[in-house]
């Protein structure tokens, strides 16, 4: 008995599923990156507010800002 196989159809289904999984992963990564950016900007705004109110000294503000931006006194990325 002859069994007909559909390798082209199977590869199209597998390729489509891989495409959708990759697209979903990219969207999730973009969303997480956006959330991280917002949290950093929110934290910077909060640090600035505390510095303006006098709760943080200039040195404390500079240290916290450098730590938040990922550098210990180095240039910001």
Instruction: Give the residue-averaged pLDDT of 52-68.
Output: 92
% of the chain residues with pLDDT over 70:
84
Is the model more confident about 72 or about 64? Answer: 64
Tokens of 14: 């597998």
Total residues belonging to the chain? 77
Between CA 62 and CA 69, with CA 66 as vertex, the angle to 5 degrees is 140
Region 17-44: mean pLDDT is: 85
Write down the domain spans for the chain. 33-68
When pLDDT is averaged across residues 24-47 and rounded to a whole number, the result is 85
Q: Is pLDDT of 60 > 90?
A: yes
> Residue 65 in contact with residue 47, Cβ under 8 Å?
yes
């Amino acid at each position: 008995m002859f069994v007909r196989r559909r390798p082209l159809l199977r590869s199209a289904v597998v390729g489509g599923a891989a495409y959708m999984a990759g697209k979903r992963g990219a969207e999730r990564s973009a969303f997480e990156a956006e959330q991280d950016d917002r949290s950093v900007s929110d934290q910077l705004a909060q640090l600035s507010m505390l510095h303006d109110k006098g709760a943080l000294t200039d040195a404390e503000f500079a240290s916290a800002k450098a730590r938040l931006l990922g550098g210990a006194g180095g240039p910001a990325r």
